[in-house]
Amino acid sequence: MKVLVPVKRVVDYNVKVRVKSDGTGVELANVKMSMNPFDEIAVEEAIRLKEKGVVTEIVAVSIGVQQSQETIRTALAMGADRGILVVTDQPTESLAVAKILAAIAKEEAPQLIILGKQAIDDDANQTGQMLSGLLGWPQGTFASKITADGAMVTVEREIDGGAETVELKLPAVVTTDLRLNEPRYASLPNIMKAKSKPIASKTPADYGVDATPRLQILKVVEPSKRTAGVKVKTVDELVDKLKVLGAIG
Amino acid sequence: MSSLVLAEHDNKVLKDATLATITAAGQLGGEVHVLVAGAGAQAVADAAAKVAGVTKVLLADDAAYEHALPENVAPLVAGLMANYDAFVAPATSRGKNIAPRVAAALDVVQISEILSVEAPDTFTRPIYAGNAIATVKSSDAKRVITVRGTAFAKAATEGGSASIEPVSGTGDSGLSTFKGAELTTSARPELTAAKIIVSGGRALGSGEKFHEIMEPLADALGAGLGASRAAVDAGYVPNDYQVGQTGKIVAPELYMAVGISGAIQHLAGMKDSKIIVAINKDDDAPIFQVADIGLVGDLFTLVPELTSKLNAAKG
């Protein structure tokens, strides 16, 4: 079966983001960008399904600025087969992204779409659910285990009180949680090989999607900061302090 | 302006997450109705009808809604939304699963995990793991919102006298099947509802030590028990213990971090706690920068001492 894996270019996980002084957003100039970590897990899972012989082709898709091509190259170096880059300079909002992905899914007819449960920039956690809703497909969100055969995919999901298992008819959308797998690093030969793998270049208009944002960002501020309190030397002092603060009886 | 709130429940009990969501919906202005979608969930509807501020409860009682499968519940909600301006769900794993599917059906963008209502169309929400707070204004005709429970007061569970009206939707979509759940059973309070939380980190060294050291402390305080991502990844405790950006967001009266260094992803999940206590052997651990009270030393001697003194103080 064919798998579609959407990947997003975001500020690297290890970068401490800074809010711009004019309050319009966070500083993105000269900041290291990487693939959204949850999407890396999605690419890895698709590759593992291919290694098991369940999957025959992996198509990586990215929607965003021209440099999102690098994110697709990363997926190709990990083991994806080809890429589709949808270039737009507008902010990429979940609904528009889901609409573009739905249009690509209709063209490519994958049996499975695997993507991260959320992107670590806007933390919206909605693209996968919207995509499955638009397509009328079932969804297995926050996956910690995926088992796919010809007609069904079984997904173990991380939920508030523990875990649950759902069985989905294919085609289906699955969103990844942290513990699904540990993504591999691309080897140097595979990075070289990825350079010759094909990437198709498209625009939102090619898919008939109006990507105009629906949410206006009025301002972005730093959260209120906590300040360090006091250090105590002994357990007795700690217990006394807690009593004074009324935290314990 | 009127809002439809998605009730969080297990077909028997209305969960607290619903109460904070009702408060947020009330701040939008206009009537607040609550949808209870479940199977054999009359008791949940009865409880929702008593919540202060709720004027109507819609009960969709059908086997297809027992496990809140989004393929079945989202079309039900989308159908009801002709009568409402906003759909408001708690930002629980269930709310996050269902609400975006509703948003797609209504052709609107979801506003995720709001922290405050600035105006009926304007909200604040965390981005970049809570390292920045964005104020966003929606231009959509209807709003689909998820609510961070710790950011809103809980509506009172008594004082309302809403009517309960049966509703029905399209039932089972046939797309998905619930196969089973493994829920952590614990006599301790749930993390998202606990007044006191004690959390253990990787410094505990093993699952055995985690239970040996942390459980008596939690019991002495009547606390919920949490963990850092490092402790969960190391296999000391199951994933639903995890407090942090990708785990549970908590804001108890007292949060005690034991052997947790304070990675930014962990801080994102607990920094709104009222009082933070940190016990760690590393004097420079980042957790001390947010802790109200810090105790530097070996947790394996300090925590049992603390536990016994807390128990002694109780008599």
- Which chain A residue lies closest to B144 (C-alpha atoms)? A126
The answer for residues whose C-beta is within 8 angstroms of residue A123's C-beta and 6 or more apart is B112, B113, B126, B127, B128, B129
Contact by Cβ (8 Å): B43, B12: yes
Q: How far off is chain A from B284, nearest CA to CA, in Å?
A: 12
Whether residue B156 sits in one domain with residue B74: yes
Average pLDDT over residues B204-213: 97
On whether B293 is known to bind a ligand per the annotation, the reply is: no
Tell me how many domains chain A contains.
1
Q: Is B177 within a domain?
A: no
Q: Is B176 within a domain?
A: no
Tell me how many domains chain B contains.
2
Whether residue B201 sits in one domain with residue B160: no
Q: Tell whether the model's pLDDT for residue A224 goes beyond 90.
A: no
Domain holding B200, by residue range, is: 196-314
Contact by Cβ (8 Å): A39, A97: no
Q: Output the DSSP codes for B23-62.
A: HHHHHT-SEEEEEEEESS-HHHHHHHHHSTTEEEEEEEE-
Average pLDDT over residues B158-166: 96
Q: Tell whether the model's pLDDT for residue B186 goes beyond 80.
A: no
pLDDT in tens, B243-252: 998 788 898 9
User: In chain A, which among 58-97 make CB contacts under 8 A with chain B?
Assistant: 93-95
Q: Is B189 within a domain?
A: no
Are B254 and A248 an interchain contact pair (Cβ–Cβ within 8 Å)?
A: yes
Q: Is A79 within a domain?
A: yes
Residue in A137, A159, A169, A232 to test binding to B, most B beta-carbons within 10 Å: A159
Please check whether residue A236 touches B, CB under 8 A: yes
Contact by Cβ (8 Å): A86, A102: no
Q: How far off is chain A from B116, nearest CA to CA, in Å?
A: 13
Q: Is B191 within a domain?
A: no
Are A215 and B295 an interchain contact pair (Cβ–Cβ within 8 Å)?
A: no
pLDDT at residue B148 in the model: 94
Are B97 and A139 an interchain contact pair (Cβ–Cβ within 8 Å)?
A: yes
Contact by Cβ (8 Å): B70, A139: yes
User: Which of the four pLDDT bands, split at 50, 70 and 90, describes residue B314?
Assistant: confident
Query: H or E stretch including B302?
Result: helix B299-314
Please check whether residue B83 touches A, CB under 8 A: no
Q: Is A60 within a domain?
A: yes
Are B128 and A133 an interchain contact pair (Cβ–Cβ within 8 Å)?
A: no
Please check whether residue B95 touches A, CB under 8 A: no
Q: Is B105 within a domain?
A: yes
pLDDT in tens, B113-131: 999 999 999 999 999 988 8
Distance separating the N- and C-terminal Cα atoms of chain A: 61
Q: Tell whether the model's pLDDT for residue B296 goes beyond 90.
A: yes
Please check whether residue A223 touches B, CB under 8 A: yes
Are A222 and B131 an interchain contact pair (Cβ–Cβ within 8 Å)?
A: yes
User: In chain B, which among 129-188 make CB contacts under 8 A with chain A?
Assistant: 129-140, 173-184
On whether B264 is known to bind a ligand per the annotation, the reply is: yes
Contacts of B314 in chain A (CB under 8 A): 249
Compute the distance between CA of residue B97 and CA of residue B170 in angstroms, rounded to an integer: 18
Whether residue B120 sits in one domain with residue B238: no
Domain holding A133, by residue range, is: 2-244
A90-94, B8-12, B22-26, B87-91: least confidently modelled range: A90-94
Q: Is A85 within a domain?
A: yes
Whether residue B200 sits in one domain with residue B161: no
What is residue A68's three-state secondary structure?
helix
Contacts of A168 in chain B (CB under 8 A): 175-176
pLDDT at residue A183 in the model: 96
- CATH code, B262: 3.40.50.1220
Contacts of B111 in chain A (CB under 8 A): 215
Residue in A12, A17, A19, A126 to test binding to B, most B beta-carbons within 10 Å: A126
Q: Is B180 within a domain?
A: no
Residue in A235, A239, A245 to test binding to B, most B beta-carbons within 10 Å: A235
Q: Is A172 within a domain?
A: yes
> ipTM for the complex?
0.94
On whether B289 is known to bind a ligand per the annotation, the reply is: no
Percent of all residues in chain B with a pLDDT value above 90, rounded to a whole number: 88
Whether residue B212 sits in one domain with residue B138: no
- CATH code, A194: 3.40.50.620
Residue in B109, B116, B229 to test binding to A, most A beta-carbons within 10 Å: B109
A138-152, B165-179, B185-199: least confidently modelled range: B185-199
Contacts of A120 in chain B (CB under 8 A): 128-129
Q: What dihedral angle (degrees, nearest 10) is formed by the CA atoms of A118, A123, A125, A127?
A: -80
Q: Tell whether the model's pLDDT for residue A202 goes beyond 90.
A: yes
User: Which of the four pLDDT bands, split at 50, 70 and 90, describes residue B258?
Assistant: very high
Please check whether residue B263 touches A, CB under 8 A: no
pLDDT at residue B315 in the model: 65
- CATH code, B61: 3.40.50.620
Half-sphere exposure of A5 (CA within 13 A, CB side): 35
On whether B202 is known to bind a ligand per the annotation, the reply is: yes
Q: Tell whether the model's pLDDT for residue A55 goes beyond 90.
A: yes
Are B176 and A245 an interchain contact pair (Cβ–Cβ within 8 Å)?
A: no
Whether residue B269 sits in one domain with residue B217: yes
Whether residue B243 sits in one domain with residue B160: no
Instruction: Report the residue from B176, B246, B306 with minimal CB separation from A238.
Output: B306
As to burial, measured by CB atoms within 10 angstroms (0-12 exposed, 13-18 middle, 19+ buried), residue B18 is buried
Q: Is B172 within a domain?
A: no
Compute the distance between CA of residue B123 and CA of residue B134 in angstroms, rounded to an integer: 8
Q: Is B233 within a domain?
A: yes
Q: Is A139 within a domain?
A: yes
- Residue B124 CB neighbour total at 10 angstroms: 20
As to burial, measured by CB atoms within 10 angstroms (0-12 exposed, 13-18 middle, 19+ buried), residue B52 is middle
Q: How far off is chain A from B161, nearest CA to CA, in Å?
A: 30
Q: Is A129 within a domain?
A: yes
pLDDT at residue A6 in the model: 98
Contacts of B110 in chain A (CB under 8 A): 94, 124, 126, 130
Compute the distance between CA of residue B147 and CA of residue A32 in angstroms, rounded to an integer: 31
Q: Is A249 within a domain?
A: no
pLDDT in tens, B62-75: 999 999 999 999 99
Compute the distance between CA of residue B87 and CA of residue B147 in angstroms, rounded to an integer: 11
Whether residue B160 sits in one domain with residue B33: yes
Average pLDDT over residues B264-283: 93
Please check whether residue A158 touches B, CB under 8 A: yes
Q: Tell whether the model's pLDDT for residue A40 goes beyond 90.
A: yes
Whether residue B9 sits in one domain with residue B145: yes
